[in-house]
Structure formats: C-alpha cells, structure tokens
Structure 1
C-alpha cells in the first residue's frame, strides 16, 4: 500500500480474525499520525528546552523535597556551581544565612497556599560571595493535577546594580576622553549656585570648539577624529592644570569652568594658554593638520542666574565666535543675545521674502573711462523687512550660506536680473550692455546650477554674452576642481566670467592661471587714495599691465572721487565703477539714468 507521501509500504497480517483490509488501513494511518505528532512535539520540546537553557534568567527545577533535578546555563554563571555540583543537592546549598527560619516559613506558607512566592533574597555563590537576587518559586503539577515539584526563576540583582553603576559612571564621565561630562558640569554649576558663600562670587564658563574638526572626520575617518579628541583633552588638561575644571561638553565642544574669578584677566590669560597649546599641529597618518579653537564665554551672574542660562549664553557666544570673520573669542552679553534672536528670525523671514518677492535688485553702473558711457552694471540685492528694518546683504547672504537658503536665494537673484535685463533692453537706448551677477560657493556646489541658468536665459531670451558671472577668489579656492568645471560649462554656453576682489586673497595670480576669466575687478583697497600713494599706484599699474598683456579686461571698483578717476585714466584703466558715477539704483531709476547718460 502507499502512505500519504505516495511511498509504498508492505504490510503482513498475522491475526486470527478474518482479514479486514479497511480496518487495517485505518489503524496503520492512526499509527502514522501518532508518530508524526510525536515528532512535532519532540521538536517543540527541544525548542523550549533550548530557550530555557539560554535564558539570561536562572531557572531551577526541584522535586517536592527541594532537591535540584534540572538547571539552565544561567544558574551556573550566577552561582559558580556546575550541573554536577548542584543536581541531586537541596536548594539549601545556596542559602546565605542572611534570612532566618521565620523568613523561610512564611515563604513556604505562600507556596503551599497560593502555589507561588515572589521576592528578593540573599544567596551565596560557590566562592562564598553573598549576592542579592529576585526569585519566583512556582508549584509544578503533572497532567493529573498532582504537584510533583517546583520551578524557580531568579535574576541576579547585583548585575542590575552593576549596570546602574556603569550607566551612572557613563552619565557623568565621558567614555572617550575620561573627562567629566556635560551632566557633571551641570551638577557642578548647580552646586555652586546653591551654596550661599559661592553664590555671591563670579564664575566663568568657557566653551571651546575646534575649527575644521568636521573636515578631519570626513577626510580621515571617525577613528582618527576620536584620537584627535583624546589629544585635545590631554592638551587642555596640561594647559589648564588645577586652575579650572575641564569637561567634554558635546561632540567636539569642550568646557572649562572657572570657579571664583576676581578679574576678567583670569579668563583672558586662561584662553591665551589654551590657544597656545593648540598651535602645534595634530599628527594624523603621518600628516600634520592644523586646527584652532573658537571660544564662547558666559559669566555668572552677569549672563544668567540658572544653569541653563549660563550654558545657553556660552553656546550663543561660541556660535557667534565661529561665525565672526576676524574673531575667535566672544563674550556673552545682552547685545549678543539680541543678535542671536534676530538671527533666529532671519530664517523664516528670508524664506518668506523669496516666496513673496520682497527682495529688490539694485544696479550700479560700470562706465568706460574715456567717455563715461555705460558699458555694464553690477546687480546688487537689497532688502527692507517690516520688522527687522533694513537688513544688510552681508547679514542675510551670510545667513543663507550657512543654512541652506543660498541656492533658492541665488536662483531668485538670477531670475530677477534676467527679468530686469529684458525690460532694460526694451526701454533703453543702450543695447550693447552687460549685467554682472555675483555667485556664491553654494550655487557652484549645486549640481543643477548650470541647467537652471540655461533654462532661465532661454525663458527670458537672454543672450549669454550679455551676462558676466562674478566669482571671488575665496569661493573659487574652496573647491577648485568643481569651480573650474562650472566655469568651463558657463563659458561653453557663452557667458563671461569675472574675478571679483582681485588682490584681496593670497593666490590671485594662481587664480588667473587656473581660470579663464574675461574680466578682473580690482578691489577698492587698491583704488582708495591711489592719487597720493606712489607704492599703491605702481602696484595697481602692474596689475593693469599684467591683465592687458594676457588679454583680460579690468574694472576698478570703489571709484569715489575725481582724483581717483583721473589717476586711473592715466594708468589706462578702461572701465570704472563706484559712487563717483552713481550709487546703486532700483530698476526704474536705473533705466531713466541710463537713458540720460546715453543721450
């Protein structure tokens, strides 16, 4: 016959009763089902036993007399006894003697009346160590409901206490540098503020952050970054000594807390010492990497009366120091906090201004020095906000560059300049006229930038040769290869390029060799006072001669007086820009002025 798997089986009947084929088949099938069910139960039982044996909780099984018959692996880890040393012995082998007979009488009374007991108990390991554990004992019955033993589940409370201790330790001590943590800093400051004799004193909190540490992580990896953080901690401890306490505040921010200062000189001396300790470069993979710190300082009670206020003021000051162009240290004060609040308002205001066309483009003319005829103009953005008042371009452009708003703002500028160029072409008698637009580093990093410019030029029917994109040396040198690629693509389309603020950087000549610019704009610092400073005059003449020799046009910026213009004409500088000719004007006044100049 065939079974359910279609496999053949031979059956032999040896009974005295007449052969009943159907009955035999039914009994055979019943036997097969029984074997299958038994196999499944065995697999389930094996799985349960595996889970019990690998449970982190200790599990004992005893008979009714308390003799141990089975234990799991955790029991042996907790007690130190092996299976052979426990099996066959009474649970009393684990008693510590810390509980008297009354305790055990009450425990067994609960088990006999309720079938279970749960509580905390002291026991003894094999090595004699007393340990504290949670325990649950339950009565176990057979299939007929008769009790045949007990099952106990235990949890080593000393392990939990160890975890709690480790957690507390990590909460108050930084695991990487072994410095006290921010939580410890908060506790220390709070202690000082609650001590009457300390509350009357002045205290200082210095937060310091290493500039360009983020780049170390990106270039060399986080493991190298961790090693640098350890080295920062070591240098700080050596520089500060016993004068103050050092903390790892957060990520790459460290804190120095000075208890009881009598003069600000104490703080400045401390900062000088810390700054000097970081003059030595950090060694990473046999390379020397230079990093310098920025400092934010808050004072108690001047900058706050609570822990949160003191720390918050220092964080605001540190952020201000990092964003200042020529400062690496910043004290917290009321004015600084007002600036921080203004900065917070700027984000939403800029976004709204982009969406609602609240910005306005102004244009400053560029003239031919021979006949004062306009040849082009530089597009300059302006913004007057209802609540913030007049917001300088430096302020809102710097904010945009640091917050991800520069790309939409830059696109807004290009579109509105193209829109205005279309109107200028229609309403002005001056047709051979170019518009100069400043580019930011964030725009150059945008992978969609070139396509956006092409699309807008097509939309507003702009001839690319009538547009000059200005790039500063600082922007270009942040990512030379990327900037070269963008410049090449723009020139292939037909746009022209200008190097802005020539001479302010350290590698202007290198820029001229790396980028095929059409125009060089001479920075105002070379122009101001040129008529009475011979050295400046000779230097500016050399720049003009160099540009003329390599076929690059020049524009002198910041021309404000007749004397400036006269001397620049003698130096054969062809194109000029500055207040002497015109201040930046909005579109309609600019078109009117342009038509007057060309008649």
Structure 2
C-alpha cells in the first residue's frame, strides 16, 4: 500500500515538475524565437540607420503586455529603448555572457543581430513571468486534487485487490513466468478458477491468448521468413535506386542544391563548378547569400520566407557570382521538406542575354531613323518600322500583306530589278542606290540594303530591307564635287579638274596618235581694272571674259580658270595644228573688245602661250610649264597676242631658276656689292651726290647685270632683303665719306615698289637707323618709280610722308616713261625728277627729245623740283642740259659706277 501511494505521489510530483520544466522551456523558446525573428527583420533598417524602420520592426514587442523592457544597441549607440519599469539599471550581471537569464519576476534575454557573420547590434529585453507562474499554480492545484482522489481510490482498490484479485493474479503471474521460461507447448494453458467472475474470465482469456500466441508464433515465424526475403529484395532495389539517384544528382546537366532554412548550403552537385567555377568544397557549408548579387538580396530573402512557410517556389530567378567576378542568371524550382530546401536550378544567362539582344533589336527596329521592312519569301510585307512610314508616307496597315512594288518609282527598268534579285538569290545580299516613290507621288533617292534570312536547312524564311533617304546627301555631294572641281565665279573647271582633264586628254591623244594644244592665257593689266574700278567690276569682267573664251572653242574642248586672271584652254583631237593660229587669234580678238560695265567702257587684252603635245612635251606638268613660259614671252613682246613655246624659252627659264637658286645665298656668301655713280652739279661743277647701284659678283659667272637678277628678286620676294642690305651698306659708306670728305654728301638709294608692301612696314625704321649710326637723315635720297605713285595706296602715301617728315628727300626715277599724274608730285612731297636716259640718248639741237626734256625741266622748276638727267655720255648732251637749266647730270661722261673704295679715291681726286 505504501509503495502504491509513494509511486502515485512520486509520479504526480514528477509529472508536475516535468510540466513546469516544459512550460519554462516553451516560454524561453517562444520568446527567444520571437526576439530572433524581430532581430532578423531589423537587419536592413539597422544597416541603413533607419530608426523609423527599426521602430516599425520592434513595434509588435512594444504592444505585447508581457514585454516590460526592450533595448536595441548598435555599437555604443542606443538605437531604440523601451523601459517603462526602469529595469535598464538593474539588469542581471550574467546577461552579458549568456543568451538568457531567469529572474525572480522576469525573464531576461539578449539576441545579437547578425549580417554575413558580422554583428550589427544587440537586442536586449525582459518578459513578465506572472502568466507563467499563474499557469504553474493552476497546474499545482489540479495535481493536488488528482493526488487526493488517487489516494482514496488506491486505498479502496488495495483492499479489493488483496481479497479477490491479488491471489489469482499472483498465481497467474507465476504461471506466466514459468511459461515464459519453457519452450512452446500445451503447458501454457492454466486451469481457471471455478468462479464466474472477472478472474475466471481472465484465466479463460489468458488461455485463449496463449492459444492465439501459439498460432501467431507459427505465423510470425512463417511471415518472418517471408519478410527477410522481401527485405533483402527491397534493400537491393533501394541500393540500386539510391545509386541511380546519386548518378542523376551528380551527373545531371541541371543544377541541384540542398540547403537548410538558415541559408547554409548542405549539398550541391558537380555541375555548379561548371557554371560558377567554384569547387564543391568551396560552396558547401557556406551561406548561399554570399554568392547572390546584392541587388537580388531582397527578393531572395522573400523567397526564403515563402519557403519557410512550406510553400514551394518555381521560376524564381536571381544572379550568382562566378569565380571570375561576373554574375550568372540562375532560375530555381524549390521545395521545402523536413527542414531542408531541395532546389533544382539551371543557368539561363545565355537566355537572358538573348532576351536582352531581342529587346535591343526591337528597340533598334522601332526607334531606328532608317526604314526597315520585313517580308516573307514571296515578298509579301509582314512588318515595317515607324521610320518606314516617315520616309515613304505609308502606314503599317497600308502595306502589310502587299508587295514592295507599291514603292516603285518607274525610274528603273526590268533589267535593274532582275539583277537585284539575281544577286540576292546568289549571295543573300544586295546594296545600292534606288529611287522610290513616296505616297504623295514624289521620287526620292534611297540607299537600300537587302538581306535574306535562312533557317537551319538553308531555306529563305524572311527578306529584310533597310533603306534611308540620301536625296539631300546626293545633292550635297554633287554640290561639294562642283565646288571642289569648278571655279565658283565663272563656273569653269578649276585647277584640280583642269589637271585631271589634261591627263585624260593626253592619254587619249597618245592612244589615238593625235595632237593636243594647250593655251595658257593671262589678261593684260587686269590688276589696273581691280585697283581702279574695284573687285566687283573685276569679277564681272572675268565672268564676261570666260564666256567669250568659251564661245571661241568647240564643245569638246575645255576652258579652265586656274586663279586670278589666268585661264587655260585644252584643244584636243587635232589631226594637225593648222587651226591653232586661227583659234588663238580669235581668242585674242574677242578679249580685246571693250567691256561695258556701269555705263563705262573697260579695255583689257590677253597674252596667250601655246604648247603642243607631243612635239613640245609629253608630260602634263611640262606642257603647262611650257605654255606658261610662252605666255610670258607673249607679254614681253608687247601683250595682246600669242606666242608658241620654243626651247630657248625653257633655256631662259632654267637660267632664271639657276639665278634664283644662287641669289638666295648671295648675301650670306658676300657676293653682292654696292657701286656708286657720281652726280654732277651743272651750275657749280661739284660732285656731292651719287647713286648707289647693286652689283652681283657670281663666283662662276662673274659680274651679273642687275637687269638679270633684280626682276627675279622682285618676283620671288628677295628684293626686300637685298634692299635692306643695300641701305645698310650705304649708311655705313656715308658715315665714312662724311669723315673723310668733311662735307655733306648725299647718296640716292633705289627702292622697289615691293618694299612698300607687306604688313611689317620694313622701311619705317630707316630714319631711326640713320640717326642711331650717326648719319644725317637728309644725306639719303629715296629713289622710286612712277609706277609706285600710280598704284600708291594709303600705306605707300604714309610711308613717303614719313620719309619727308624725317628730312629724307624723294626722287622719281625714269621720269617720262610712266603715267604718273603731276598732282602726285606735290601730294607726296617729291624733291627730284630723274629724266630717263631714253630722252638723253638722242638729245640734239632742234630734236623732239630736246623739247620734251626742256619741258620737263621747266615744269619741274615751276613745281619747285630739281632735275637730274641720266645717261649723259657726250659733251653736247651736257651743254644742252646746262643751257636748258637742268640741275644735275649723271652718266659715263662724268664717271661709270665704281666700287666704294674707287669711289672714295675718285672724290679725293675731284677735290
């Protein structure tokens, strides 16, 4: 009885203790799970320091009546705190090193908030234990009640058992133990008491049970044998199936992965290494989020949440990082089972790239500025893009299902289209210009590209046309070509097109063994027209001259303008050159006719040089050069005519080129010299003037006449350097003469008109140079030509006045041969007139030259000018000049030009 009571009591107390322990564990696990769940959803707000997001995640705990304390720390900062009962200051000391602590009235916990194995913060909190204690007290009262009832029932039962049950049961127990120790036999049966109560029926049931046991043992033995056979067979089947599944798992082309709900990869198949490059050991045991693209973390976490709710997922896509740093697109199908996630996946990177290419192609198709058309193999239009409608005027609904011939402009014949389709069928490609008809009927030039699209069997499944409008481009190209090859003023071929045509005509003449004649034409005194009447009239004259030249030749001949007033004419297909004189004379005559502009007549003439292929030259460059030389020969003959090229012209040209080449180095090599020719005062017979004259002593050719090299120096821009050198030599010689002669001596320096040109005004420093070197400025006389006065502009006038203001006198050289106006003599403050030697050479009593020279002297004196007569070689000339009142004479009668040292000796002897 005591044992029964002790057993019942112990059992109930144990159940109560175990119930309390279980309730506490459930309380701990439930609340810790709640805190951890909140901490997981607090990760992202905590990462981005989003306090409002943190408050939103913790709000479920704030509203829970069981929560009495809550605090979220990030490092040393308190992100959020809930402490209505001021528990923060009295937290248990053991909480710092433990996950939870059981207090007298509260349950305290501490949960770390982690991301990628990195601790972001700590969530601390406390829950009330009132409800738990109340529940435990109710359980205790219920246990005590059950214990009392059990004690009473036990006492009554003990009495009954002892009397009616225990003895038979003891016997039955002893028999059963004996039976258990024996082999199976009929001894298992036990005679039943002769009573009609539960004990007898228990004996009967026991005997029946023993009979059934004997039968069941036999059946079990038989079934056990059969089961062992089936288990063996099933085990072999499972082994084969397991091997088959392992092979499928390891060798399947798809990707397989097993992970737990915390995101740790448990197992993967080898195909992952092919896709991502990582070995199996490098991925298993690691969180799969380490491989996910950061942009895909939110949706991947959402998919984990869905799986954690035991819902399968299909067609989920995210990106996984490859070993090389790139990302691959992975498509998933996942099933949650038994706490694990079973996932099958495949690499769809190529499909994604193809989709992106399709989107890009579609975007290009829709937004391209070029028209696109897609047709079937029978040329029925399937689709067009918006640019097609913009270019052709036809909407998509107007052309779909129709043949592209609706765009036919009628500008191309059947052979053109036949060649297009023939090439398209042979190569699958055609490209070229085509004219199409707009919906409004207008025709436009398009650049068309046709392509066939083939299937895997090589059959045409689509035809694609791409075209864009090049009408304006064609016009622009034609305009650019015209501007590049034609003179914009006269619309004649320019130098570039002329060279091309000349080459072509020479090849043609050579092939057909014919003559070709080249005219090189230059308008005489055209510059005077520009300077006198302005460039507008000059341009009009050039246009008219071009028309006149064009009217003198055949349509097959070429007239070109090389620039300025230079023209060329190519006369081709000549069997002989007999008509060349007639053509050249006709051009000369027509160009010499007056030009009428702005109610005034303008006269110019032309000089023509003629070179013939192949007699003069077989090369285009030589032919042009020879015609140019012949043109200059025509000018030298008096202009307004034509001249054929002769070998002597080439010799003269080569001689000029040699002179030019050597002239470049004449000054550095010291080959130039200054000669001085004395000027005699007729009234006093004294010599205190001289003219400085340049001489070139060539090391091979000896003394070269200035008439040979000065024009070349002027033509090629060397005259400025030579003139500057002469001036410096004169200044140095003047300083020496003044010291030796102890007299005021003047030297005339010839200045070319080209020295007045240019932007640097190189003559302006001459007065300063003289003053700097101790030479009086009035010791230098500047000699200029009449032509300079005729062409004088503001710059020339300013320079002449600059000389006058600095006491440098001005002399007009070769007076009487030009066209200068007498008003210019006063305007530019001229001091001397030098009568040209052509008047002096035939000077005699009662001659016209005497009258002209006398008139010049009288006019000069009336204007306050002095007169110097050049070229005096006889005593008669000197006497006549003296009688007419001429002031100075210069010539061989007085002395020839001489070097500086001889000139100094001459002056010394004259004294």
TM-score range normalised by the length of the shorter chain: 0.7 to 0.9
Secondary structure, aligned partner of 2:655? helix
Q: Distance in 2 between matches of 1:278 and 1:541?
A: 40
Distance 1:461 1:351 in 2: 31
**Higher deviation after alignment, 88-97 or 354-363:** 88-97
Corresponding residue number in structure 1 for 2:501: 184
1-structure distance, mates of 2:420, 2:736:
100
Provide structure 2 residue ranges, at least 5 long, that are not aligned to the other structure. Answer: 1-51, 63-78, 81-293, 300-355, 409-413, 456-460
Give, in whole Å, the separation in 2 of the partners of 1:519 and 1:100: 85
Q: Does 1:98 align with 2:418?
A: yes
Instruction: Give secondary structure in 1 for the equivalent of 2:617.
Output: coil
1:73–1:282 CA distance, 2 compared to 1 (3 A): farther
Does 1:279 pair with 2:592? yes
**What does residue 515 of structure 1 align with?**
828
Corresponding residue for residue 383 of structure 2: 69
Q: 1:62-105, CA deviations, whole angstroms, 9 ceiling, x for partnerless residues?
A: 7999854342546864x675554335657797898737999877
- What SS class does the counterpart of residue 822 from structure 2 fall into? helix
Q: After TM superposition, give the deviation of residue 503 of structure 1 in Å.
A: 1.4
Is the Cα–Cα contact under 8 Å of residues 693 and 897 in structure 2 kept in the other structure? yes
Worse-superposed segment, 581-590 or 247-256? 247-256
TM-score, structure 1 as length reference: 0.75
Quick check: 2:785–2:814 contact (8 Å CA) kept in 1? yes
**How far did 1:262 drift?**
5.7
Q: How does 1:139-218 map to 2 (within 5 A)?
A: 152-154=465-467, 177=491, 182=498, 183-196=500-513, 198=514, 203-211=516-524
State the distance in 1 between where 2:735 and 2:433 align.
90
- Rounded Cα–Cα distance in structure 1 between residues aligned with 2:664 and 2:869: 34
Change in CA separation of 1:227 and 1:84 when aligned onto 2, cut-off 3 Å: farther
Q: How does 1:351-366 map to 2 (within 5 A)?
A: 351-366=664-679
Matching of residue 566 in structure 1 with residue 879 in structure 2: yes
Deviation of residue 351 (structure 1)?
A: 2.6
Where does 1:335-484 land on structure 2 (aligned, <5 Å)?
A: 335-386=648-699, 389-426=702-739, 428-429=740-741, 431-446=743-758, 447-484=760-797
The verdict on how the C-alpha distance between 1:296 and 1:137 changes in structure 2, with shifts beyond 3 A counting, is: same
Give the paired residue count: 548
Q: Is the 8 A contact 1:52 1:59 kept in 2?
A: no
Q: Is residue 449 of structure 2 the alignment partner of residue 134 of structure 1?
A: yes
Q: Secondary structure at the match of 1:310?
A: helix
Point out the more displaced range, 356-365 or 118-127. 118-127
- Deviation for aligned residue 1:381: 0.5
Query: Deviation of residue 387 (structure 1)?
Result: 5.0
Residue segments in structure 1 that go unaligned for 5+ positions in a row: 1-9, 32-40, 108-116, 141-147
> Tell me, what secondary structure is at the counterpart of 1:530?
coil
Out of 527-536 and 470-479, give the one that drifted further: 527-536
| Secondary structure, counterpart of 1:237 in structure 2 | helix
Quote the offset at 1:471 in angstroms. 1.4
Task: Compute the TM-score of the two structures, normalised by the length of structure 2.
Answer: 0.51
The DSSP-based 3-state class of the residue aligned with 1:383 is strand
Deviations 1:285-314 (A, max 9, x none): 666544322211113443123444333321
Give, in angstroms, the shift of residue 378 of structure 1.
0.2
Structure 2 residue 802 is matched with structure 1 residue 489 = yes
Within 2, Cα distance between the matches of 1:221 and 1:89? Answer: 65
How far apart, CA to CA, are the structure 2 residues paired with 1:211 and 1:298? 20
Give the Cα separation in 1 of the matches to 2:694 and 2:421: 89
Query: Where does 1:12-31 land on structure 2 (aligned, <5 Å)?
Result: 18=60
Shift in alpha-carbon separation, 1:162–1:516, aligned structure 2, 3 A: closer
- Paired with 2:855 and 2:433, the residues of 1 have a C-alpha distance of 92
- Work out the CA distance in 2 between the residues paired with 1:100 and 1:297: 51
CA distance in 2, matches of 1:459, 1:229: 50
**Structure 2 CA distance for aligned equivalents of residues 303 and 100 of structure 1:** 51
1:173–1:19 distance in 2 versus 1, CA, 3 Å: farther
- Deviation of residue 470 (structure 1)? 1.0
Q: 1:325 to 1:475 in 2, by over 3 A?
A: farther
1:467 deviation in Å?
A: 0.9
2:811 corresponds to:
498
Alpha-carbon spacing, 1:577–1:220, altered in 2? closer, same or farther (3 Å)? closer
User: Aligned with 2:676: secondary structure?
Assistant: strand
Give the 3 Å change call, closer, same or farther, for CA 460–62 of structure 1 in structure 2. Answer: same
Q: Is the 8 A contact 2:423 2:429 kept in 1?
A: no
2:421 & 2:833 partners in 1: Cα distance? Answer: 99
For 2:639 and 2:424, the matched residues in 1 are separated by 76
- Work out whether residues 121 and 135 of structure 1, in 8 Å CA contact, stay in contact via their aligned partners in 2: no
Q: Deviations over 1:298-336 (max 9, x none)?
A: 134431234443333213323554577767533212121
Label 1:273 to 1:71 Cα distance change in 2 as closer, same or farther (>3 A): same
Aligned to 2:671, what secondary structure does the other structure show? coil
Give distance in 1, aligned partners of 2:852 and 2:59: 128
| Partner residue, 2:852 | 539
1:584 aligns to 2:897 (yes or no):
yes
Judge conservation of contact 2:588–2:641 (CA < 8 Å) in 1: no
Distance of 2:433 and 2:552 partners within structure 1: 50
Contact 2:764 2:799 in 1 (8 A): no
Q: By how many angstroms is 1:138 displaced?
A: 6.9
Q: 1:82 to 1:309 in 2, by over 3 A?
A: farther
Structure 1 range deviating more: 214-223 or 298-307: 214-223
| 1:363 Cα deviation from its structure 2 partner | 0.5
CA contact (8 A) 1:472 1:499 kept: yes
Displacement of 1:519: 1.5
Q: CA deviation at 1:345?
A: 3.4
**Residue in 2 aligned with 1:7?**
none
Could you tell me how far 1:340 is from its partner in structure 2? 1.9
What is the RMSD computed on CA atoms of the aligned residues? Answer: 5.0
Cα distance in structure 2, aligned partners of 1:581 and 1:121: 86
Distance 1:236 1:380 in 2: 45
- Change in Cα spacing, 1:384 to 1:225, as seen in structure 2 (3 Å) is same
Q: What are the equivalent positions in structure 2 for 1:283-298 lying under 5 Å apart?
A: 283-284=596-597, 288-298=601-611
